[in-house]
Chains A and B, each alone.
Chain A
Amino acid sequence: MKRSWVVFATFALLLGASLALLWGVIGLGPIKGWIPVATFAAAILITLTMAVLAAGGARRRRGGEGDQSAAPRAIPDFSFPTVLAGIAIAHMALGLELGAWLIMIGAGALAVAVGSVAIELRATRRAALRAGGEESAP
């Protein structure tokens, strides 16, 4: 289990064993027990997706597992557009209760926040390229 995808695959296998036991115990009628089976199956699917992503990522990266390349990575110390995005999403959620006017205010703020994050990403990408490095993910 030295590699991360093996951990996810092992976990998915254990969940699958549990699901098989549940299936064997409750049977599978047309409706009876479909929610437990569906939620279990969804959990297994999510875990397998993580295993595939982890395995694919490891193959893509230089030197296998780990991402400690020598190239510098550019990250801003602060990201106030991200703060604005969080507050905007909360406003939109609260607008479900208080009215569409708040949803629209939140949407406008979110648009500003997304645009600002895009500008921020461009700036960090340019800084990284100047230093001969790579851009970090959001």
Chain B
Amino acid sequence: MTTLDAPPRRSGTLSLLGLFGSTDHKHIGLVTGLTAFAFFLLAGLLALLMRTELAEPGLQILRDDTYNQVFTMHGSTMFYLFAVPLALAVGLYLVPLQIGAAEIVWPRLALLGYWLFLSGGLIMYSGFLTADGAAKAAWTAYDPLSDSVATPEAGMDLWIIGVVLATLAAMIWAACVLATLVRRRAPGMTMLRIPVFSWGMVVTCLLVLTAFPALVLAMTLLYIDRHFGGVFTDPGGPLAYQHLFWFYGHPVVYVVFFPFLGAALEAIAVCSRKRFFGYHAMVLSLLGFTALSMSVWGHHMFTTGGVANRYFALTSTALLVPAGIEYFDSLATMFRGRIVVRTSLLFALGFLGLFLIGGLTGILVGSPPLNYHLHDTYFIVAHFHYTVVGGTVFGFFAGIYHWFPKVTGRILGEGLGKINWALLMVGTLLTFIPQFFLGEAGMARRISDYPAYEGWAGLNLLSTVGAFVIFLGVLVLLVNVARSLRLGRVAGDDPWGGHTLEWTTSSPPPRHNFEALPPVRSYAPLLDLREERERTRAGAAALGADPEELRR
């Protein structure tokens, strides 16, 4: 059935079957996001299992082998099945709306991507059903730990197949979103007038399309090596694998950061009721940030002795510059703004604070001499959780509270929202601050147990308590969503005084997004329109004339 023959249908009136076969980018983005969030909950449960085991010395609930499977699947799920698909799902949903497009480019390909992603996730988890369990070589699957001698089990093969399918899905989505940004912008919307969030998606898609092929290659070669040998068997083989893996593995942390940076910045601008400050500097810094993010992968390999430490230390430290520009722009946006403290703003501020901790500790571990002490310790675990939880999760939550009204037509409860934020802030700090001290004291990562005489038990117990506080925070979000879907305040088209085109259409948007588009003269077209109307009204009041007459 084509839309030319059928009457317009509003989103939200589909059957479940229709939802999973729909070519509407909003439905594809929504089901992808919901599926990714389901994987997030699964990975969260695995994290709670790990933290429960580590709360006290000695093995309480898991054997060593099972613990290895748990941390492997936790990390794998978080990156391959939650953070990356979610980052692209928000782009699939929002980019066409923000740039004034009726549809995404290649909608059938985007739908194909969802089914490859879902299949990949299920295949990865099917490893738990095999006799020897799921993959257990960590989300990085380093050779020779992941080869057929050390890990001969079928679970590892299933993991590889799942990773390849999920990664191919991500590449397909990135191509669709980037092509939409190139080809479907509204009249008047040049690249220097697309919203900040959409710029975040531009650089995200650039990273996916240039860096993710390295992972597909690495996994393919690993699979061939496991079944036929001869790929990573020479003395330089493990190092070659690491080069290929980390050429993907570092950019991926920016893939899961930039969209949610954009979401946080949008929330900051709207809640400050002020135009985003330093747009052009932000665009240049995003491109610089992206290029640098592809130039630092060797800092994961300082201790191998096989990379140019000077080069990668220089590029890693240089990341401070574009990050600093973005922090300055976000704070300057709030400066002298008429700030409304909504939950979305709280999460955006939490994002800035927590990511700052992650970023500053990144400068520490980006120094090779310090890295030799801290590599593969809990310091690294704490560092990347601050960047990923602070960046991805807090940015995502800022986006949820900001765009939930547009997607569903209802506003999330602010009371429960603030409780949600408080629990996540406290939980994140309580979980990961102790891990900095544990890592500095020498506690290695990926271990199921530690000796009692080291005196690490107290900090581990604190960290476990924090993990359960995070769990409570996520529960509060689920309650808030369930409650607001039925009882939440009706949103209308533009409940926040938004700046960008998605707020000109209904909530939720119709099948082809827009009945009409306002003129686009900047990166904040709706704000321009509002300011023009206010100027007209003020001018009319001064003259004692009718504003509508003046406008005509």
Contacts and interface: CB of A to CB of B under 8 A. Distances in A.
B186 A33 contact: no
Contacts of B210: 15, 42-43, 46-47
B115 A90 contact: yes
Contacts of B120: 90
A113 B210 CA distance: 29
A78 B214 contact: no
A43 B211 contact: yes
A13 B202 CA distance: 16
Given A18-B294, A50-B206, 16 more contacts: A7-B202, A17-B291, A26-B308, A39-B214, A42-B214, A46-B209, A72-B4, A76-B2, A77-B9, A77-B22, A77-B24, A78-B21, A79-B21, A83-B20, A97-B157, A136-B103
B269 to A, nearest CB: 21
A6 to B, nearest CB: 7
A77 to B, nearest CB: 6
Contacts of B181: 4
Given A68-B186, A90-B116, A78 B240 contact: no
A100 B310 CA distance: 49
B392 interface: no
A47 B184 contact: no
Contacts of B2: 74-77, 123-124, 127-128
Cβ-closest 4 pairs across A and B: A86-B115, A90-B119, A14-B291, A2-B190
Contacts, number: 194
Interface in A25-61: 25-26, 31, 33, 35-36, 39-40, 42-43, 46-47, 50, 54, 57, 61
Contacts of A76: 1-3, 23
B154 interface: yes
Given A47-B210, A75-B103, A11 B291 contact: yes
B112 A86 contact: yes
Given A14-B287, A46-B209, A1 B183 contact: no
B4 A74 contact: yes
A14 B372 CA distance: 30
A112 interface: no
Contact of B161 (A14, A22, A61, A94): A94
A127 B192 contact: no
B294 A3 contact: no
B355 to A, nearest CB: 23
Nearest to A16: B291
B185 interface: yes
B115 to A, nearest CB: 3
A134 interface: no
A36 B243 contact: yes
A26 B288 CA distance: 22
- The residue among B107, B181, B244 with the most chain A CB atoms within 10 A of its own CB is B107
Of the listed residues A17, A42, A75, the one surrounded by the most CB atoms of chain B closer than 10 A to its CB is A75
B164 A93 contact: yes
Classify chain B's interface size. 35 or more
Interface in B70-126: 100, 102-103, 105-109, 111-116, 118-120, 123
Contact of A1 (B157, B283, B290): B283
Nearest to A4: B182
Contacts of A133: 4
A42 B216 CA distance: 14
B413 interface: no
Contacts of B20: 83
Contact of B115 (A42, A83, A127): A83
B5 interface: yes
A123 B4 CA distance: 12
Given A2-B192, A68-B184, A93-B165, A77 B158 contact: no
A53 to B, nearest CB: 8
Contact of B112 (A25, A82, A136): A82
A135 to B, nearest CB: 10
A54 B181 CA distance: 11
Contact of B243 (A14, A39, A54): A39
A127 B4 contact: yes
A86 B113 CA distance: 7
A61 B184 CA distance: 11
A18 B316 CA distance: 12
Contact of A66 (B187, B292, B307, B310): B187
B108 A79 contact: yes
Contacts of A105: none
A25 B186 contact: no
A134 B369 CA distance: 61
B325 interface: no
Given A76-B1, A127-B5, A86 B23 contact: no
A127 B4 CA distance: 7
Nearest to B314: A21
Interface in A68-126: 68, 72-80, 82-83, 85-87, 89-90, 93-94, 96-97, 117, 123-124
Contacts of B116: 86, 89-90
A22 B183 contact: no
